Amino acid sequence: MPNLALTELTLSHFRSHKAARLALDGRPVAIYGPNGAGKTNILEAISLFSPGRGLRRAAADEIARQPEALGWKVTGILQSLHQIHELATWAEPGGARQVSIDGKAATQSALGRIARMVWLVPSMDRLWIEGAEGRRRFLDRITLSFEPAHAENTLAYEKAMRERNRLLKDQVRDAHWYAVLEQQMAHAGTAIQTSRQAALVRLAEAQDGAETQFPAASLTLTGAGGSIPPETVDGFAQALADNRRQDLYAGRTLIGPHRADVDAVYAAKGILAKQCSTGEQKALLISLILSNARALAQDFGAPPIVLLDEVAAHLDSHRRAALYDEICTLGAQAWMTGTGPELFSDLGDRAQSIKVTETDAGTHVEQRN
C-alpha cells in the first residue's frame, strides 16, 4: 500500500450522493459510469481533504444534496506515512465549512500538512488559451502541494489588498492609511513569490531526466507579480508606495503576485503551449501533474493522492496505457473517472473498480473489486 492513501471514504448528503461508503486498499481507483451519474462528486469530496474550496471551488452551501439541503459531511481514514488519521469536513445549512482531524477541530492548512493532493479536471483543458487567473490558480495549487503555508500567505495578501483597494476606490490619499497595509502585502506577497518560484524549480527538476511518455513543459512566472524581486520585502513595499498614484486612478492595486501569469513552452518543440494542438496541451498538463507527483514523492516521503477527472477520454490507447503505468510505478493512489470500464482495461487488477449509476432514489455506488 502507498504511504499516503485513503482506506475509507464516506459521503453524506454530498451533491448527488445521499449516502455512500467506500473501502479502499491503496490501489488506484477507477470510477466509471454515465455522464451526470456522480463520478466527479466523489473526486470533489476527496479534494476537500486538502486546503481550499476543492476542485470545483464551490461554496459550502452549494455542495449539500438537493432538495433536502440538510448540510453535508465527508469523512475518511487516511494513512499518511506512518500514521493513521480520521478526517472529517462538513457544513451545516448556511454555515461555513468545518474540519476535524482525529476528532479535534482543525484548520484547512492542517490538512495540507498530513496529506498532499494534486488534480486535473476537464476545465483545465483550456488553461493555456484563456485568462491568467486560471493559470495562477493552477500554479498556486501546485505551490500549495509543496508548501501548505502558501494558503495562509495568499489569504493574508488578499485580505490586505482588499482593504487597500477600498481606500483606493474611496480616493483616500493619506499615506499613513496605506503604510501598514502595504507592509502586510509586501511580507505575504514576497512569500507567495518565493513559494511559487520554488515550486517551478521543483517541477523542472522532476521533469529533467524523467522516464515518461509525456512531453516536458518549461514554465516561467511572468507579469507584474513576476517582476517584483520576491526576496525584497522593503522593495515590494516601496513599489506599492511608488505606484499609489496609478492605483488611485485605477481604483485598484495594479502590481503584485495577483497580477502574475505563467508562460508554458513545449520544451522539445520550443513552442508556446497556447500554440500547441489540443492533444499536446492535454499531454503537457498531464506531464506537469505527474512531475508534481514525482517531486512530492521525494519531498513529502510519499506520492500524493492524485485526482484525474475524465483524464482518459482524450488520450489514445498508447498514452492511456503509459499514464496508468506511470501512476502504478509511482505508487500513487490515483482516483480516475471515465464513462466506461473499457477505458481502464489496461490497469487490470492493479486498480479497484467502482461503478456509479443514477437511479430514481439518487446516485448508486457499487464496488466491483
- Beta strands (DSSP E) in the chain are 4-14, 17-23, 29-32, 72-80, 83-91, 98-101, 104-105, 117-120, 217-222, 260-266, 271-272, 305-308, 334-338, 352-359, 362-367
Contact 206, 199 (CB under 8 A): no
Ordered by start, the domain boundaries in the chain are 1-116+302-369, 125-299
Percent of the chain with pLDDT over 90: 84
Dihedral of CA 112/308/24/303: which sign? Answer: negative
13's torsion region: left (phi>0), alpha (psi -120 to 50) or beta? left
- Whether 1-116+302-369 and 125-299 share one fold: the answer is no
Give dist(CA 335, CA 356) in Å, integer: 14
pLDDT tens, residue by residue, 310-361: 988 778 889 999 999 999 999 999 999 999 999 999 999 999 999 999 887 7
Strand partners, 336: 30, 308
> For 140-144, what is the mean pLDDT?
95
Residues with Cβ within 8 Å of residue 180, at least 6 apart in sequence? none
Query: Can you give the pTM of this predicted structure?
Result: 0.92
C-alpha cell at 169: 476606490
- 1-116+302-369, which class in CATH? alpha beta
How are beta strands 334-338 and 305-308 bridged, if at all?
parallel
pLDDT band at 224 (very low <50, low <70, confident <90, very high): low
Each residue's pLDDT tens digit, 41-97: 999 999 999 998 999 999 998 999 988 888 999 999 999 988 999 999 999 999 999
Task: Write out the CATH class of domain 125-299.
Answer: mainly alpha
